[in-house]
Amino acid sequence: MDRLYIFDTTLRDGEQVPGCQLNTVEKIEVAKALESLGVDIIEAGFPVSSPGDFNSVIELSKAVTWPVICALTRAVEKDIDVAADALKYARRKRIHTGIGTSVYHIQYKLNSSQDEIIERAVAAVKYAKKYVEDVEFYAEDAGRTENEYLARVVEAVIRAGATVVNIPDTTGYCLPADYAAKIKYLMENVSNIHRATVSTHCHNDLGMATANSLAGVMNGARQVEVTVNGIGERAGNTALEEVVMAVKSHREFNIETNINTKNIWETSKLVSALMNMPVQPNKAIVGRNAFAHSSGIHQDGVLKNRENYEIIDPKDVGIDESSIVLTARSGRAALKHRLAALGVINIAQEKLDEVYQQFLLMADRKKSLTDSDILALVGERENIHKKIKLDYLQVLCGKRVRQVATIRIDIAGEKFESTASGNGPIDASIKAVKEIIKRQMTIQEFLIQAITKGSDDVGKVHIQVEHNGKIYYGFSANTDIVTASVEAFIDAVNKFDQKFVPAKE
Ligand code: KIV
Ligand code: ZN
């Protein structure tokens, strides 16, 4: 069997998404999970872009052992110098350099010519080679680059020493047949192509990222660039779990990855929780409905033989259905065990005690608690340390009544109260909060998501608030969605700054 290399860019292309930014400690947690998952290469960041990215590449290099650590650069010497410096502690290192090759990029972004782009590409690869043996070249917007010119670029950079050539469909424009033809063309027309690994890097703007990546693999690509849960700019990148399970399920690929698929679910949860990026319920492989059978006919069929309606055994991706139910009778040890399975490791005893108390309260309100509930509790518990906290909330709502909310907020120990009406209980409550926190702010995005299914469900609220031209993200979860909404709003406000002073009339 051939080997397909998994290049994970969750911490670079994925982390570029507004609101998904992680601090270095969180990045290390994700990197270690990726290492346990078995990815071959971790793209750790774009070191020249910020001191934070530079530092993260250093710390990730120290934290992981066997995956290659990769740093992104433009085809610019300064970028490459900084990337090489950031990679100094990596046991196995790669520099990923490149430049735009489509007419759009050459004319309108780089104001250059095709020949000059080849010269710059070759110079960048040669320069990177002074620092590391493993140099990957990306031809940005290769998806919209004509194949003949792309082949010239690829041939030149391989001659200059590139060990991997990345063919990104940067704008997610290609259809699978186009992308397949592109990779086939390169395999057949680049004389030195056998000296490098061809890599796919597909974005999902038309929902084709996985299909395009697989089309690339079918035609000779042996590395796929992916992110966990498919996170990434705009519609995202190719989802790691989709490609891995597709090649595992379809033996005709005759290719294998190093992925320990049983860690997929846990890694997906960890990334979703840390990046505040909910997974859509019907997402392939890792959505909460991916293995849920609701119709009677399907349930009956699955009970007779799982393979009647399931192409993947949930256990293969780490879903152990028998361990999903936690109830009020479960003890701390069970809770700790489940948290560890969900990626929340090394939880301090004091924090565990507090989460356990919240857990018992929720277990009294719900018949059983799911993994999502448990993760939400860990997030909710963090409110205790916030400067601004919701202390009290009462809403009057219903049909043909004025929707009124009375709210009390605790700001660094001092209590402030306000009452407001609105066009619904959430609107009234948020207006009441705004009465106290007299700041110029507008809600840009507001998402309420039920975690499980019943009317006793926990609702997760993600909110984006604009203040002084910047976007702040808030999150909360509660069985009461009005409370969750207000807490999510307050969570965002907490992030404005710590010098917050309430308005006193
Ligand atoms: O989408 C893209 O073209 C990229 C490159 C920087 C590899 O992310
Ligand atoms: Zn990309």
Last residue of a domain, one of 347, 381, 415: 381
Q: Is residue 119 located within the same domain as residue 10?
A: yes
201 lines ligand 1 (CB under 6 A): yes
Q: What is the pLDDT of residue 324?
A: 44
User: Does residue 503 fall inside a structural domain?
Assistant: no
Rounded distance between C-alpha atoms, residue 356 and residue 325, angstroms: 15
Residue 500 maps to a domain: no
CA of 178 to the centre of ligand 2 (A): 18
Asked whether 138 lines ligand 1 (CB < 6 A), one says yes
pLDDT of residue 408: 95
What confidence score (pLDDT) does residue 477 get? 78
Final residue of a structural domain among 381, 416, 441: 381
Q: Which H or E element spans position 444?
A: strand 442-450
Pocket test residue of 201, 227, 233, 237 for ligand 1, highest count of atoms within 8 A of CB? 201
Give me the residues near ligand 2 (ion), CB cutoff below 5 Å: 13
pLDDT of residue 383: 55
Ligand 2 centroid distance, CA of 13 (Å): 6
For residue 298, the model assigns a pLDDT of 58
The reply to whether 356 and 476 lie within a common domain is no
Within a domain: 92: yes
Residue closest via CA to ligand 1's atom 6 equals 140
Q: Are 223 and 297 members of one domain?
A: no
Residue from 7, 96, 138 to probe ligand 1 pocket by mutation (most atoms less than 8 Å from CB): 138
Closest ligand relative to 233 C-alpha = 2
**H/E run at residue 202:** strand 197-202
Query: Ligand 1 within 6 A of 140 CB?
Result: yes
- What is the enclosing helix (H) or strand (E) of 212? helix 209-218
Phi and psi at residue 105, in whole multiples of 5°? -65, -45
Residue 283 lies inside a defined structural domain of this protein: no
Q: What is the DSSP letter of 461?
A: E
Q: Does 487 contact ligand 1 (Cβ within 6 A)?
A: no
Are 389 and 353 in the same domain?
no
Q: Please check whether residues 221 and 103 belong to one and the same domain.
A: yes
Residue 39 is assigned to a structural domain of this protein: yes
Closest protein CA for atom 1 of ligand 1: 170
CATH number at residue 474: 3.30.160.270
Contacts of 337 (CB under 8 A, 6+ apart): none
Is residue 65 a part of any domain in this protein? yes
Q: Is-contact 184 178, C-beta < 8 A?
A: no
Do 404 and 305 share a domain, yes or no? no
**Residue 257 covered by a domain:** yes
Q: Are 319 and 308 in contact (CB under 8 A)?
A: no
Ligand nearest to the CA of 74: 1
Residue with tokens 């009677």: 296
Is the Cβ–Cβ distance between 52 and 41 less than 8 Å? no
How many separate domains does the chain show? Answer: 3
The two three-digit tokens of residue 25, written as one number: 């400690």
In this structure, the answer to whether residues 168 and 261 fall within a common structural domain is yes
pLDDT tens for the chain, 505 residues: list them. 899 999 999 999 999 888 889 999 999 999 999 999 999 999 999 999 999 999 999 999 999 999 999 999 999 999 999 999 999 999 999 999 999 999 999 999 999 999 999 999 999 999 999 999 999 999 999 999 999 999 999 999 999 999 999 999 999 999 999 999 999 999 999 999 999 999 999 999 999 999 999 999 999 999 999 999 999 989 999 999 999 999 999 999 999 999 999 999 999 999 998 998 989 889 999 987 787 654 546 556 666 677 777 788 989 999 876 344 567 777 787 788 777 766 676 778 888 898 888 888 888 877 667 767 787 787 755 555 678 899 999 999 988 889 999 999 998 888 999 999 999 999 999 999 999 988 888 898 888 876 555 676 677 788 888 888 777 878 887 888 999 999 989 988 888 765 555 544 4
Q: How many Å lie between the centroid of ligand 2 and the Cα of residue 448?
A: 29
End-to-end CA distance of the chain: 74
398 close to 405: Cβ distance less than 8 angstroms:
no
What CATH number does residue 36 fall under? 3.20.20.70
Q: Is the CB of 74 under 6 A from ligand 1?
A: no
Cα 197 to Cα 184: distance, rounded to the nearest angstrom: 13
Residue 279 included in any domain: no
For residue 342, the enclosing domain spans 292-381
What six digits make up the tokens of 403? 């929707």
Looking at the structure, tell me whether residues 208 and 112 fall in a common domain: yes
Q: For the chain, what is the radius of gyration of the CA atoms?
A: 25
Alpha carbon distance 427, 405 (integer Å): 9
Beta bridge mates, 42: 8, 69
SS3 93: strand
Nearest residue (by CA) to ligand 1, atom 8, is: 13
DSSP state of 67: S
Q: Using CA atoms, how far apart are residues 205 and 233, in angstroms rounded to an integer?
A: 9
For residue 393, is it left (φ>0), alpha (ψ between -120 and 50) or beta? Answer: beta
Of 318, 353, 381, the residue that ends a domain is: 381
260 shares a domain with 124: yes
Q: Are residues 88 and 227 in the same domain?
A: yes
Does residue 377 sit in the same domain as residue 388?
Answer: no
Query: Which of 9, 10, 13 is the best mutation target for the ligand 1 pocket, counting ligand atoms within 8 Å of the beta carbon and taking the most?
Result: 13
| Ligand 1 near 170 CB (within 6 A) | yes
Q: Could you say which ligand is closest to the alpha carbon of residue 232?
A: 2
Contact assessment for residue 208 and residue 202, using Cβ atoms and an 8 Å cutoff: yes
Substitution site in 72, 199, 213 for ligand 1 pocket (most atoms within 8 Å of beta carbon): 72
368 and 237 share one domain: no
